[in-house]
Amino acid sequence: MIRLFLRDLKLAMRAGGGFGLGLAFFLIVIVLVPFGVGPDNAILRAIAPGILWVAALLACLLSLDRMFQLDYEDGSLDLLATAPIPMEGVVAVKAAAHWMTTGLPLTLAAPVLGVLLNLAPAGYGWLLAALTLGTPALSMIGAFGAALTVGLKRGGLLLSLLVLPLYVPTLIFGAEVTRRGAEGLAVATPLTLLAGITLGAVALLPFAAAAAIRINLR
């Protein structure tokens, strides 16, 4: 399992599909928003939590189709399916590697880019906490969507259509944590719900994704 995790990290770094592409997209979206809505600091501060979360969510989508597709094309996925390790563990490892190369860099970069949107000073810590807690759910939900579309030609668009609705609860509560934190309000309720979504996704979706992969490999 550790070797599989390290292999996926190396492939993501070597191919540039996770770390560099996600960060570049995240940066471009955040830079373009002030040009679109204007330089009014009050407007930018009001929309900053939502924009940062939407940009992070879309950046996570960019590399989801690579999670299982490359292994499917070169036959590695068939070998993993017959290996003496559970497919659920394979899914969890690949989701963890996706988070390490996409979710974690976005989480670390978000407070820096929040300066461009004039995010309130009190919101930076809560933005970091919300993304740290919520991005693992994005990777795991994305792994489930990637498992459903593995083997399909041009499945990237279908993957986005499947995954985006499932991302909505994480987006709502993650942005709410950041907004409330920036305004100095209580964040316990949305933070608890965000944690519940992440824990539920990590506990249940590896089994659903593994079942989908087995069906697609038949």
For 86-98, how does the pLDDT look when each residue is reduced to its tens digit (9 = 90+)?
999 999 999 999 9
Please tell me the predicted confidence (pLDDT) of residue 57. 93
**pTM attached to this predicted model:** 0.91
For 104-153, how does the pLDDT look when each residue is reduced to its tens digit (9 = 90+)?
999 999 999 999 999 999 999 999 999 999 999 999 999 999 999 887 77
Nearest to 113 by CA among 31, 2, 6: 31
Please tell me the predicted confidence (pLDDT) of residue 21. 83
For 9-46, how does the pLDDT look when each residue is reduced to its tens digit (9 = 90+)?
777 776 555 567 888 999 999 999 999 988 888 999 99
